[in-house]
């Protein structure tokens, strides 16, 4: 089974801090995604990557950036955290056919 590991389960950061959320997958999957989950808004795609050093904006990229230096690792960066970025962040991965999404367990970020 593909495992998708998100480095932190719960995180509390201050407004203005730079925040790194890490996602690591242990299979050779090409596609990786970052979503945020908010009550009443469902899952919203922030950024995705189809290959190393490749990134594409999703539906809500503002205030975020990403890094994919290695195939197995996809990092989400909050350049200057704000309270409206308090959310559950989910990483997901699929292989090149886009079958069989696997989600990480999520990182619940609170910005105070």
Partner 1 sequence: DQQVKQNSPSLSVQEGRISILNCDYTNSMFDYFLWYKKYPAEGPTFLISISSIKDKNEDGRFTVFLNKSAKHLSLHIVPSQPGDSAVYFCAASVMDNYGQNFVFGPGTRLSVLP
Beta-carbon contacts of 108 under 8 Å, excluding residues fewer than 6 positions away, are: 9, 10, 11, 87, 88, 89
Residue 53: exposed, middle, or buried by beta-carbon count in 10 A (0-12, 13-18, 19+)? exposed
- Contact status: 62 vs partner 1 (CB under 8 A): no
Residue 7 in the binding site for partner 1 (CB under 8 A): no
Size of the site for partner 1 (CB under 8 A): 24
Residue 74 lies near partner 1 (rule: CB under 8 A): no
Contacting range for partner 1; rule: CB under 8 A; set: 17-25, 36-44, 63-71, 76-84: 36-44
Contact 19, 81 (CB under 8 A): yes
**Cα–Cα dist 39/26, whole Å:** 30
* Residues in region 37-56 near partner 1 by CB under 8 A: 37, 39, 42-45
Least Cβ distance, residue 90 to partner 1 (angstroms)? 7
Distance of alpha carbon 35 from alpha carbon 58, whole angstroms: 9
User: Footprint of partner 1 on this chain (CB under 8 A)?
Assistant: 1, 10, 35, 37, 39, 42-45, 58-59, 88, 90, 92, 98-103, 105-106, 108, 110
């Amino acid at each position: 089974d593909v495992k998708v590991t998100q480095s932190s389960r719960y995180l509390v950061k201050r407004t203005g801090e730079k925040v790194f959320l890490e996602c690591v997958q242990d299979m050779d999957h090409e596609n990786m995604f970052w979503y945020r989950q908010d009550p009443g808004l469902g899952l919203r795609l922030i950024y995705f990557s189809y290959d190393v050093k490749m990134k594409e904006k999703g539906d809500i990229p503002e205030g975020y950036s990403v890094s994919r230096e290695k195939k197995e690792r996809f990092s989400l960066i909050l350049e200057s955290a704000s309270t409206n970025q308090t959310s559950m962040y989910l990483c997901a991965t699929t292989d090149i056919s886009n079958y069989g999404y696997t989600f990480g367990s999520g990182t619940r970020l609170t910005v105070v």
